[in-house]
Each structure stands twice: as C-alpha cells, then as structure tokens.
Amino acid sequence: GAGVSQSPRYKVAKRGQDVALRCDPISGHVSLFWYQQALGQGPEFLTYFQNEAQLDKSGLPSDRFFAERPEGSVSTLKIQRTQQEDSAVYLCASSSTRGMANEKLFFGSGTQLSVL
C-alpha cells in the first residue's frame, strides 16, 4: 500500500476486555516497530520485528501485551485483560532497512485505545 495502515482507528474497551490492534506495513518492509504514546507524551518503544522474528520485546509493559507477525508482513498487537493505564495511542512503524537503530521509519496514524 501507499503507507502504513493501522486499524481500528479508535477502540473503546471495557476494563478486563481483550483487544487486538492491526498494522499493515508498507509492502516489502522488513522491519516493524510498535510504539505506545500516552496523552501528552512522546512515543515509547514496545517491540521490534525483523520479518517474522520478534527480536526485541523489552518495551512491552507487562505479560498482558503480546505481539506477532507470523508471515513477516501484517502484525497484531494484543492486549489481554485491558486496564485503564493501557489507554494510549498505539503506533506502528515500518522500514525497508534492517536493525533497531533504524533511521528510515514510516509511521501509521495509530490506534487510539480508550479503556473505560
């Protein structure tokens, strides 16, 4: 596609509900990142994929957060038993180059998650 696409654009969940957020990276991009952006804050790194391999998940805040990219393209970020503190914008970014020190990131518009 023309850019990184994320869906849904907005998600409202009740506390305790499970949610799944989808990212469609730019076709052919090997690197995919997830970031969490709380209100009034800058994005914070969650996890990194190179193709289908999750090479770094050090930023995931708890074991309720799980990400996958089984075929090396589309990625899903799943949050189990959502809590109010999970409310944030979740950003996906992709790149045609490899590596964590990645300077050529293309970001999606994000999914705004509100947990009530």
70 binds other proteins (CB under 8 A): no
1 binds other proteins (CB under 8 A): no
In this structure, is the dihedral angle defined by the CA atoms of residues 24, 89, 13 and 15, taken in order, positive or negative?
A: positive
**With contacts defined by CB under 8 A, how many residues of the chain interact with other proteins?**
28
Task: State in angstroms the smallest separation of the CB of 14 from other proteins.
Answer: 26
Of the residues 65, 88, 110, 115, which one makes contact with other proteins according to CB under 8 A: 110
59 binds other proteins (CB under 8 A): yes
Q: Is beta strand 75-79 parallel, antiparallel or unpaired with respect to 19-24? A: antiparallel
Task: State in angstroms the smallest separation of the CB of 12 from other proteins.
Answer: 19
Q: What ranges make up the beta strands (E) of the chain?
A: 5-7, 10-13, 19-24, 31-37, 44-50, 53-56, 65-68, 75-79, 88-95, 106-107, 111-115
Nearer to other proteins, 17 or 102 (CB): 102
